[in-house]
Amino acid sequence: MLETGIRYADGAPVEIRVRQRGRRIDVDDAGATVRRAGKPPGWLETAQAVVAEPEFSFNVNRAGVVFVPLVEGRDVDEVAGRLARACSALYGELLDLAD
């Protein structure tokens, strides 16, 4: 798990999981963002829209994991930082849905 320096609106750190398997590197939030927000109604559509924004360009699955697959040679720290920012933004949007 990487500590990114990015925080959720509640002050908790956004941690990003990085796993390497051969040349493939999986970078994700382990589902923490959606879980932390409590999966309010409409969470999946909102999550898909937020993480697909051009500044992020990530994926989210039905389990609530925000992720991106990489290949060796990519700047993992830069991608992890962007993914953490996407997760922080998503958390805020999901809290708005819950209100």
Q: Is 30 helix (H, G, I), strand (E, B) or coil?
A: coil
Q: How far apart (Å, rounded) are the C-alpha atoms in residues 4 and 93?
A: 20
How many other CB atoms are found less than 10 A from the CB of residue 41? 9
Q: What's the number of domains the chain is made of? A: 1
pLDDT tens string for the chain (99 positions)?
Answer: 888 999 999 999 999 999 999 999 999 999 999 999 999 999 999 999 999 999 999 999 999 999 999 999 889 999 999 999 999 999 999 999 977
63: containing domain:
2-98
The CATH number covering residue 40 comes to 3.30.1460
pTM of the predicted model as reported, rounded to 2 decimal places: 0.94
Q: How far apart (Å, rounded) are the C-alpha atoms in residues 87 and 51?
A: 8
Q: How far apart (Å, rounded) are the C-alpha atoms in residues 79 and 17?
A: 11
- 16 touches 77 (CB < 8 A): no
